[in-house]
Structure 1
Amino acid sequence: MSLALLGDALLYAVLPAYASHFGLTLAWVGVMLSANRIVRVFAYGLIARLTHAIGVRNICIAAAVIATVSTALYGISHGPAMMLVARILWGITYAILVLATLSYAIAFRASAGTRVGVGQAIQRIGPILALLFGTWLVGRVGPNSVFLILAVPTALSILIALNLPKGVKPTEKPTTPASLSKPKPIDVFFFLQGYGVDGVFAISITLIFARSTELSVAVMSGGALLAMRHFGEAIAAPLFGWIADRVGARRVFLVAAVLTMLGFVGVAVGITVIGALVMLLFRGALASLGPAVIAQQLTDEEDALGPLARMQTWRDIGASSGPLATGFLLTYLSAEFQHGMVALALAAGLLYWMLSD
């Protein structure tokens, strides 16, 4: 998962600033950064059933191959068509890997928070390195060639997948995850979080810096903060997951959600760096707390893939609509104003969860 994420992580920092190098307009950038998530909305249920049928190892091998191909395609894409193909392929890959890793992590429900957190920490190493060193490499080899270079370490994920144990399948009885069913309150909150973090923030942070500095510096600055999104997961997910296993996921989730909301407020009022750091750190905590909240509400006999697929689906609906809406709304509304609106929406979503749970 860590190696597979290299190209996708860097694309968020590079594509908004270097859209013309890929033959895209800013509106197309929003489409490309949403396309993979739109695919996932419809893919989770099918992939959950396919994983039950063919096993985790086989589906992870397929995902590793597709991840390598999609990363290489970023480097040779010019115009919407090929980039769209690459993003669709990546959407399928991520849907496979996120369900596979969560399936492994929640096998033991009592320690689900810790296991999900440790998994998230390992997964974020690749994106952190891609955003810190990849953005520097863009200035040396260009925004296109850097993805061809990243395809090489991504290919190592194929070797790792080939060495996974054979014959492993999810232990739950196969059910049909109603991934597009009516969202639960926690799904609504993750929809809003996906819209805000992966949409409004990811699309606009580089552009905020570009107002006051050179483009190359803005890309590196935006890339550094986007790297903090992954660094926040690497640090906060295992820590807060461990705490959740001991004091209960619900109360820890509440604290992390409030602080994530306050981070958006910080960006909205002009405290960009501090607000972003707070938001990204506690958004990282939510990465393990969401699955932990679900796992702690289920018995060992109940299927977890269905609720997890539904939560991931609604998060991805938010994360796919976020870039589309942000790219359009930036013509009329400032990035700071949009961050403020996200903070208000998160407050409403959190209140809905508290009153309904």
Structure 2
Amino acid sequence: MTLPPPDERPTEAEVDRDSRSAALAMAFTLPGDVLLYLLLPLHAAEFGVTLPEVGLLLAANRLVRIFGYGQVAALYANRGPRVAVLAAVGASTVATSLYVFASGLWLLLVARLLWGLAFGALNISNQALPTAILDGAARRSARVRAIVSMGSVAGLVAGSFMAEIMGPRPVFLLLAIATLPGFYFASRLPGFAEGKVLSGPRFSIPAPMDVWSFFSGLTLDGLFVVGLSVLAAATMEEGAGLAVGLAMSMRYLAEIVFAAPGGALAQKVGPRRMLIIFSLCASLGMLLLGIGGALLWVGALGTIVLRALIQPLPAPVVAEDNPGPERIPALARQASWRDIGAGAGPLLAGLLLPVVPAVMLYGAASILLAGASLALARKPKRQD
């Protein structure tokens, strides 16, 4: 383990460069995963799986992260960002290549588990590097989100177009080749490690940020995505699928457009304050989603924009509460809680939407998100 001497700590310009390299590495590896969410349900038979197995495969990468973030964070902390991101790019290349020929549940499950761990390393790197120093952390985190979202948009647009011409399998070969520039950007990252951090159990008493992450994942990632499809189908006689598809595509476009100005505003006002304000507004959007009618689309579009503004803000807040190397396990813990919430959201929506009025379900979700957001106003005490 190699630690940088105090007089060689990174400058703000170096942190900017490293953050950009990590974001580009992630942008080149994401298209295969994003496109699989579109193609696997549509072409389940060609991949040799049933629709229930499709659900398991699409959830597997999130489930493995819940239990694997601790190990991924340890790799990052002890071996440094270069090793962690190089390993992640390699795993993503293998996973995307497996989509070309793998058939049946088990081989595809291996690919999804590989990708889940790869995403974990990429995600931590893209939160830890921008927050290596607090000055400019919100601005860098916003720029990272915009770059990563460009990769997602490219994967959806170009990948779906090529899949129409080539079929669902061959397109993943091109996307596997497209991951290769990620090795170059990963090789530009620092080779030093920040050092092992001794911390308590990752699932001990959750901090306010962990609670917010859980309810954010539950509402903005889980209930929102599933509920939008179900409620739109109930509201619109025709074109519901197209409307939902356009609305969901706007998630990535909104991050490209709004992440940078939102990060700049957070840099001036403070990321914690902006996270609370944007989250409270998003909770109102969830309530409008439950009311339905014309307000459904007002709530949907508002929530999409606010989610884009929120995305870059948790990492700077975590770094402020957990300075130095302590932020790495804290970032991993926060990401784990968000994944747990995001995994529970669709399950909760599937169970409750048929039997509970939408306004009651989304009203409760709105209250939970608002309460968790207000709890962030009290900064946790640091232990010496």
User: Which TM-score band applies after superposition, normalised by the shorter structure?
Assistant: 0.7 to 0.9
Matched, 1:49 2:74: yes
Given that 1:113 and 1:241 are in contact with CA atoms closer than 8 Å, whether structure 2 keeps it comes out as yes
Matched, 1:315 2:348: no
The alpha carbon displacement at 1:267 in A equals 3.1
The one of 297, 301, 304 equivalent to 2:327 is 304
Report the residue type matching 2:212 in the other structure. Answer: F
Gaps spanning 5+ residues in structure 1: where?
none
Given that 1:113 and 1:238 are in contact with CA atoms closer than 8 Å, whether structure 2 keeps it comes out as no
Q: Distance in 1 between matches of 2:359 and 2:39?
A: 21
The alpha carbon displacement at 1:222 in A equals 4.3
TM-score under structure 1 length normalisation: 0.84
Cα RMSD, aligned residues only:
3.1
Matched, 1:127 2:152: yes
Change (3 A) 1:158 1:334: farther
Q: Tell me the equivalent position of 1:263.
A: 285
1:275-311 CA-to-partner distances (Å, cap 9, x unmatched) read: 3222122112222211122223344x56211221111
The one of 255, 272, 275 equivalent to 2:299 is 275
Report the residue type matching 2:300 in the other structure. Answer: A
1:172-227 CA-to-partner distances (Å, cap 9, x unmatched) read: 6633474322221221121122123332334465566677557xx93x65444333
Q: Tell me the equivalent position of 2:133.
A: 108
Q: Tell me the equivalent position of 2:310.
A: 286
Given that 1:33 and 1:320 are in contact with CA atoms closer than 8 Å, whether structure 2 keeps it comes out as no
Matched, 1:175 2:189: no
Larger displacement relative to structure 2 (93-102 or 152-161): 152-161
Paired residues in the alignment total 351
Alignment of 1:1-357 (within 5 A): 1-161=26-186, 163-165=187-189, 167-170=191-194, 174-176=197-199, 178-203=201-226, 205=228, 212=237, 218=241, 222-268=244-290, 269-270=292-293, 271-299=295-323, 301=324, 303-326=326-349, 339=362, 341-354=364-377
Given that 1:40 and 1:313 are in contact with CA atoms closer than 8 Å, whether structure 2 keeps it comes out as yes
Change (3 A) 1:90 1:330: farther
TM-score under structure 2 length normalisation: 0.79
The alpha carbon displacement at 1:337 in A equals 7.2
Change (3 A) 1:225 1:99: same
Percent of aligned positions that are identical: 33
**Whose radius of gyration is greater, 1 or 2?**
2
Q: Distance in 2 between matches of 1:302 and 1:58?
A: 17
Given that 1:237 and 1:289 are in contact with CA atoms closer than 8 Å, whether structure 2 keeps it comes out as no
Gaps spanning 5+ residues in structure 2: where?
1-25
Change (3 A) 1:208 1:70: farther
Q: Distance in 2 between matches of 1:72 and 1:208?
A: 36
The alpha carbon displacement at 1:327 in A equals 5.2
